[in-house]
Chain A
Amino acid sequence: MPVQSPPAFHGFGLGLRVPHYADFIATQQPVDFVEVISENFMVDGGRPLDIIDRVRERYRVALHGVSMNLGSVDAVDLDYLRRLRALARRVDPLWISDHVSWTGVDGFNTHDLLPLPYTEEALDVLAANVSIAQDVLGRALVLENPSTYVAFADSMMTEAAFLSALCERTGCQLLLDVNNIYVSATNHGLDPDDWLQGLPLERVRQVHLAGHSQGRDMLIDTHDAPVPDPVWRLYARFASRLGHVATMIERDDHIPPLADLLAELQQARLIAASAARQAA
């Protein structure tokens, strides 16, 4: 069944987190949209739903999930999808996103975004689950490339080829996390500049920009620091090829004052504008 793609939208936004709820509700902040973590609002009632209603009065909202478990051999969780659908009806989001990953199997949920081998079997499983989710939600999903710390010898294709095939089979769109590209490529000894090779760029609906930290052996996708220079530079190189795409700063820990994040978002605007001028 053909899925309905989200409408075109090219703004600049921020991930909305608890310390900034009041700022966003009290005053119109200079963002075109906010992205919220879906699961935080997939609740029965109380303050979370009051907050999302008040945020929605001022801003367009993208719903970003972390628990759809699309890459698992487990059946997709219909209770989860129904709750997400109810939230979507309440919020009328720009789009609904989640990750090209799995979180658990046999009912064991690690609450982490686990890596998939890039094999035909994984593609079959993932595509089937994405199709079910899209049917229940009545729209095309926007799916994000995760940071990974393990690569599998079984993988038969690149991550970009895997994502491309997924888009082809399901009609889904892509959320390109530039930090995740940098982290995964660095951890696996690849060149991040090669990452877009073979990717259907017209499918990229949104870009995430975030920071990471240096672990003992690897880069860790911690979202606890400003966007670092290597990620800005990678974004600058990608921006001219991506064209106008909704872009946002994602910060989940050590959350700074809102002004700091808005300054980072302004930097993204400038880079995108410069890329657009160069492309013209």
Chain B
Amino acid sequence: MSLGELQRQFIASVSGTDARESFDTQGMRVYANNYRSQLVTTLRDTYAKTRLWLGDETFDLAAERYVDEHVPSSWTLDAYGHDFPDLLERDYPDDPDVSELAWLDGTLRQAFSGHDGAAIDAGALIADDWDRVEFVFVPTLRFRRMRSNAVSIWKALADEILPPGAVQTSAGDGVRVWRRGLSPRFASMDARECACLDLALAGATFGEICERLRQLHASAAMAAEAGGLLRAWVDDGLVLSLRQG
């Protein structure tokens, strides 16, 4: 048997896709156990709050299903489990809190060791033509719209207090995740902020964001509202730089 054939057969045996006993059974049991247990342990570690929410047994069943369906391919275990929230969304279609909690767990973990970026402070908010200003955000910033109170649940689990029951939330609300300095952060957002951040991340100018706010609310205080949002983003350490579009 060539080395390539041996290695492919070995992998098939370790991952359980080949039931032939081509190698020592006792030894292969050790490798097969190492393989699965390491991947499940990685998921437990990355999705710690989700595990608390689901309970160990239910979480592990989901983790085992994920291992069955997802081959680890990267050199780093940090990359394993990125699609775990999708599996939970499929498994719990009527309970968005589960997959949204997992998204928050996973995104905070990615922010932990994501690219650095020195955010600007309010003193750098200077532009000749604000309508044409675009925003460059810190590289760890991610956001998503939420259908549940997963953010409140996550906070309660982190604080080791009784979490609230899962409830559906207003359409369009969301959460943003980023890292400030060395610390991953997250914050809830209402529908207006979600819409604006979505636009800003897509490269919209401040003028276009103001126009969107005007369409949403026909608010006379639209400019002040947009300015308030921008100030909050800067104060939270989200903005890397301003760019003249």
Contact = CB atoms under 8 A, between A and B. Distances in A.
Interface in B2-26: 2-4, 6-8, 10-11, 14-15, 23-24, 26
A17 to B, nearest CB: 14
Contact of B29 (A44, A69, A117, A217): A217
Contacts of A79: 75
Interface stretch (A6-14, A101-109, A202-210, A227-235): A101-109
Nearest to A148: B27
Contacts of A104: 11, 72
Nearest to B7: A105
A126 B113 CA distance: 32
B14 to A, nearest CB: 6
B75 A39 contact: yes
Contacts of B11: 104-106, 108, 110
Contacts of B26: 149, 216-218
Name the residue in A80, A108, A154 with the highest tally of chain B Cβ atoms < 10 Å from its Cβ: A108
A50 B179 CA distance: 14
A73 B9 CA distance: 13
Contact of B6 (A46, A80, A109, A152): A152
B115 A45 contact: yes
Interface stretch (B32-40, B207-215, B228-236): B32-40
Interface in B184-201: none
B71 interface: yes
A187 B7 CA distance: 21
B28 interface: yes
A50 to B, nearest CB: 6
A42 B76 contact: yes
In the complex, which range does the number of interface residues on chain B fall in? 35 or more
B114 interface: yes
A64 to B, nearest CB: 15
A118 to B, nearest CB: 11
A170 interface: no
B18 to A, nearest CB: 13
B30 A220 contact: yes
B221 to A, nearest CB: 38
A121 B29 CA distance: 26
B72 A48 contact: no
Contact of A119 (B3, B8, B72, B112): B3
Contacts of B113: 43-48
A72 interface: yes
Interface of A: 39, 42-50, 67, 69, 72-73, 77, 79-80, 102, 104-112, 114, 117, 119, 121-122, 125, 148-152, 154, 187, 215-218, 220
5 contacts: A39-B77, A108-B72, A109-B74, A114-B14, A151-B27
